[in-house]
Structure 1
Amino acid sequence: MASPSPLIFAGTPDFAATALRALLDAGHEIVAVYTQPDRPAGRGRKPQASPVKQLALEHNLPVCQPEHFKSDAALQELASWRADRMIVAAYGLLLPQKVLDVPRHGCLNIHASLLPRWRGAAPIQRAILAGDHETGITIMQMDAGLDTGDMLFKLPCPIDPHDTGGSLHDKLAKLGGEAIVQALTNLENLTPQPQDDSQATYARKLNKAEARIDWHKPADQLAREVRAFNPWPVSHTLLDAQPLRVWQAEAQPQAPDATPGTVLSTDVDGIAVACGEGSLLLQQIQPAGSKAMSAAAFLHGRPGRIAPGMQLGDDPHS
């Protein structure tokens, strides 16, 4: 049974919207929703409401979108809701202590890792990149640090060998909703556990530059990058000086002695490319100006465009 205590919810992207929906479905009282200001998006660069704002408006919930909490007015508005707790999920602001102190019982965070591993902005993708076999959700009592507060509740989630950043995001978003509902139901039985800072790792924000394929890396590492960077920022290389995005690929342990980036073979299974160790079989690609397609469809529709002996990447002489 849901607690009658009034809650503020703070979040912005789809991950957070899934948690908000779970709280609403469980009958929790959400007195206000905080989310990032509308940002330009799409080809027209028109301001677009966040997924959390869209869901809040569907449920006729009050929506607040401060740029920050530096003003007295923003803090006064936060206090006016008289909430027992604030639930925070991928809000996009590092909340100062004066904000955390406003709700009567502080703020709970839904974090997409098993803390203290992968504190920070991109825990889902960093777990895949590192080759982790498991991740999960941590419900944490927030403090002023970056994901450093005491842990209240955890739910583990295996990382499937074929999980992408997108598929694992969706699993964890659903699990995050389940975790916060369970945690709120059992709060009186949960014991805060301090994090072991010596075990902490940092999940820095993703950027487009790191998605550029370095063919000198081992194939298994590149395969993890392809998975982690799908759907953003998407692993990419160059084909005849034009960008080629790689959406799906598989590592192959054996490869002939060839310069990294050299196309080894092209067949119905895909395009095999030499790496620093092993080879990477490109299975789904997106050439410049086209939609994503299977490598087999690309080879069939553009014969000779990629052939054994060709070089992919920035430097054909590297």
Structure 2
Amino acid sequence: MKVIFAGTPEFAAVALQALHEAGFDIPLVLTQPDRPAGRGMQLQPSAVKQYAVKHGIEVLQPLSLRMDAKDPQRAAEAKAAHERLLATDYDVMVVAAYGLILPRSTLDIKPCLNIHGSLLPRWRGAAPIHRAIESGDAETGVTIMEMEEGLDTGPMLLIERTPITPQDTTATLHDKLAAMGAEMMVKVLRKMEKGVVEAVPQPEQGVTYANKILKEEAVLDFAQSARDISRKIRAFNPFPGAHGEVNGTVIKLWGAEVLDGGSNAAPGQVIAADAHHGIVVACGEGALRLTQLQKPGGKRLPAAEFIKGFPLDGQRFE
């Protein structure tokens, strides 16, 4: 099969690599334009573009695929991309975390398959991995689905599950699901080659939406339960990084353990900060032992190392 691939971040690059190594003919890759990144804010190619260029695959980076875009430049790039797709000999488009909406004009050319990091119809939308952890889901997985104009509403071709462990962060779960999704897409395309793949409509029950993560969500409220705060810390690792404030200094929290039992201390109060107990903070319900922290301009440090340079005994997270 000849496969056009559309994707942008590392999650997508893992799938592109799997398809390429499986021997599929990939005549064209679509990815988002290079973006400024790093301290120097130099333009950086996406992970997908880096892989494609390294392996001699043609790359197209339109600002939009919507030919009716109000911005003339976006509309012109979309028209050029549409004409390029029409001129390309391919059987299917595979989409993984592309970041651009595929309009009807694109979906109508050839079948479009999507790698989605959730057990659809739960967590349709932009941030399924974050929201699954934040909500305390016991499991998640990957769904390979046919794309249509609705938001992640298309029929399912393959679904596989994996547990969410108490140690999983968005970073670790991302890597698991990226590998799963890549293997699953290879399986689906092999079935398509043989004409034995079956599409199943999504259930009407259990629909939830994984809204895009906003930076302000990462500000922790210690009046919440220790369990809820712990989930947020794991869900927002690595982005945007859950944090609290101590005496005007923003402290990012990268790891925490839930401690059962009550405390008379006010939420956010540091009730221990020493080598023996670690850093323990009172919450609205229960307490948290913080295990990895980071101050502005510093590195992520284990709690014992962090308090050597930033004493927290008697302080309070506001």
Q: Same fold (TM over 0.5)?
A: yes
Match of 2:54? Answer: 58
For 1:110, the aligned partner's letter is I
Deviation at 1:148, TM superposition (A): 0.5
CA–CA distance in structure 1, aligned partners of residues 297 and 39 of structure 2: 15
Match of 1:213? Answer: 220
**1:306 equivalent among 308, 312, 317:** 312
1:135-181 CA distances to partner (integer Å, 9 max, x unpaired)?
11100000011111000101211111100110000001111110100
Compare 249-258 and 157-166 and name the one that shifted more: 249-258
CA–CA distance in structure 2, aligned partners of residues 197 and 90 of structure 1: 24
Deviation at 1:260, TM superposition (A): 0.6
Match of 2:12? Answer: 16
CA–CA distance in structure 2, aligned partners of residues 7 and 72 of structure 1: 21
Deviation at 1:288, TM superposition (A): 2.2
Deviation at 1:214, TM superposition (A): 0.3
For 2:181, the aligned partner's letter is G
1:272 aligns with 2:280: yes
Deviation at 1:289, TM superposition (A): 2.7
Counterparts of residues 129-278 of structure 1 (less than 5 Å): 129-187=134-192, 188-268=195-275, 269-278=277-286
**2:41 equivalent among 45, 53, 58:** 45
CA–CA distance in structure 2, aligned partners of residues 15 and 115 of structure 1: 18
CA–CA distance in structure 1, aligned partners of residues 215 and 84 of structure 2: 37
Match of 1:114? Answer: 119
Match of 2:72? Answer: none
CA–CA distance in structure 2, aligned partners of residues 149 and 271 of structure 1: 47
Deviation at 1:94, TM superposition (A): 1.4
Deviation at 1:74, TM superposition (A): 2.1
CA–CA distance in structure 1, aligned partners of residues 124 and 53 of structure 2: 31
Deviation at 1:195, TM superposition (A): 1.1
CA–CA distance in structure 1, aligned partners of residues 83 and 308 of structure 2: 63
Match of 1:88? Answer: 95
1:197/1:93 CA distance change after superposition, 3 Å:
farther
CA–CA distance in structure 2, aligned partners of residues 270 and 18 of structure 1: 38
Say whether the 8 Å CA contact 2:268–2:281 is kept in structure 1.
yes
For 2:211, the aligned partner's letter is R
RMSD of equivalent CA atoms: 1.1
SS in 2 for 1:183: helix
1:269-293 CA distances to partner (integer Å, 9 max, x unpaired)?
4211111100111111012232111
Normalised by the length of structure 2, the TM-score is 0.93
Match of 1:293? Answer: 301
Match of 1:316? Answer: none
Deviation at 1:191, TM superposition (A): 1.6
Normalised by the length of structure 1, the TM-score is 0.93
Compare 75-84 and 212-221 and name the one that shifted more: 75-84
Say whether the 8 Å CA contact 2:60–2:81 is kept in structure 1.
no
- Runs of 4+ off more than 4 Å: none
SS in 2 for 1:234: coil
Deviation at 1:216, TM superposition (A): 0.6
SS in 2 for 1:156: strand
CA–CA distance in structure 1, aligned partners of residues 116 and 168 of structure 2: 19
Query: Structure 1 stretches of 5 or more lacking a match?
Result: 314-318
Say whether the 8 Å CA contact 1:94–1:146 is kept in structure 2.
no
1:79 aligns with 2:86: yes
Deviation at 1:193, TM superposition (A): 0.9
1:52-91 CA distances to partner (integer Å, 9 max, x unpaired)?
0000001100100011121432211111112110000000
CA–CA distance in structure 1, aligned partners of residues 263 and 16 of structure 2: 52
